[in-house]
Amino acid sequence: MGMTMTQKILAAAAGLEKVEAGQLIEANLDLVLGNDITSPVAIKEMDKMKVEGVFDKDKIALVPDHFVPNKDIKSAEHCKCVREFAKRNDITNYFEVGEMGIEHALLPEKGLTVAGDVIIGADSHTCTYGALGAFSTGVGSTDMAAGMATGKAWFKVPSAIRFNIVGKPGHWVSGKDVILHIIGMIGVDGALYKSLEFAGDGIANLSMDDRFTIANMAIEAGAKNGIFPVDALTEEYMKEHSTRAYKIYEADADAVYDEEYTVDLSTLRPTVAFPHLPENTHTIDEIQKMDEITIDQVVIGSCTNGRLDDLRIAAKVLSGRHIKKGMRCIVIPATQAIYMQAMEEGLLKTFIEAGAVVSTPTCGPCLGGYMGILAEGERCVSTTNRNFVGRMGHVKSEIYLASPAVAAASAVTGKISSPYELN
């Protein structure tokens, strides 16, 4: 019986020839990640351990991104705690305001994540790095503390679900639509503690930004991780961004999967997840048959859809148009480098001329932090990854998850719309 891609990576990290689903292992870590919310808890746990320093100052990344620039005194204290810990332990990869970004966009951009890595992060969307052929997963702050202290973590080896990706996506269909389609198909607990493993010729038709988006939201189906095979595009990305050696793992031909599905990209349509779960999906064609759903706000950004491709798509929709009067449209580039490139390409000018506001990189509104909190009864179309009750503000507000194309079109019309509808 062969191993899946994830199982091969974990076996190598544990120094074992073979692992099986359900097996408990201790694996060596290539990177431990924390942010301004989760790191202070981990730091306090490390203090309780009475350990001297961290296992490797080069293999820890601390990224204040959730409430930065600091929105209040409490967030300032959290960031101060992380800043002082980084200085005390000479952490190489600490990213201050001005050089930071949203963690899951920043780390691949900085070349800190490559194929074959084992990565844990005290943030559930750490699974993003599976786009590069790495095993990456979210953990609690206590596990982060243990990882920073020892460079090791315990895992139960996950079983897997295989998604065979075929075909080529149509115009305005992106990685966000792919993952929303998948979550709508299997549900938010359809892959509970399993690995979502993607394969198939259709992957070649997905950009790296598409793949990051898909891997990012694997957790929204309950998955332990999501992972893509390493192809020429992946290698090109890693060589452009990183000097680290990487290792390519491939699933065995006789690897065992709990389930297998085929997703034909050519049949997908722009998809929206209605409140209050990412599985509550409807295609734009279905939505057009409903009573119109008016909205109050649009957010384009986050670790899911704040990358350059996302901003280019949104700008293409908004170019020469203006957001509907009374609407709020907030655009958040995911990193400083993306912000700079968007400025050089004139994308920021397009957003501002369209009536949007552009923010420095921050998670901000995604978790109801700041920069776009919703009031009672308000509705938001957002390119973020979760639409739980109260996620972006008042418990009686509503979040509709969508791609940058749908979000931008909705900003123009003031209701959930697709770019196909715009003149």
Per the DSSP assignment, residues forming a β-bridge with 374 are 393
Say what the pTM is.
Answer: 0.95
What pLDDT is attached to residue 251?
96
271-273 and 281-283 as β-strands: parallel, antiparallel, unpaired? antiparallel
Question: Which residues have a Cβ under 8 Å from the Cβ of 350 and sit 6 or more positions away?
Answer: 315, 318, 319
Rounded CA gap, 410 and 418, in Å? 7
What pLDDT is attached to residue 423?
65
Rounded CA gap, 362 and 291, in Å? 34
Using alpha carbons only, what angle is made at residue 235 by residues 233 and 236, rounded to the nearest 5 degrees? 65
Secondary structure (DSSP) of 190-224: TTTTEEEEEESGGGGGS-HHHHHHHHHGGGGGT-S
Q: Which of the residues in the chain have pLDDT under 50?
A: none
What pLDDT is attached to residue 50?
83
Rounded CA gap, 3 and 17, in Å? 10
Rounded CA gap, 271 and 283, in Å? 4
Helix 175-186 to helix 208-216 angle (10° resolution) is 30
Domains of the chain: 5-264 (3.30.499.10), 274-421 (3.30.499.10)
Helix (H, G, I), strand (E, B) or coil at 229: coil
Asked if 279 contacts 188 with a C-beta cutoff of 8 angstroms, the reply is: yes
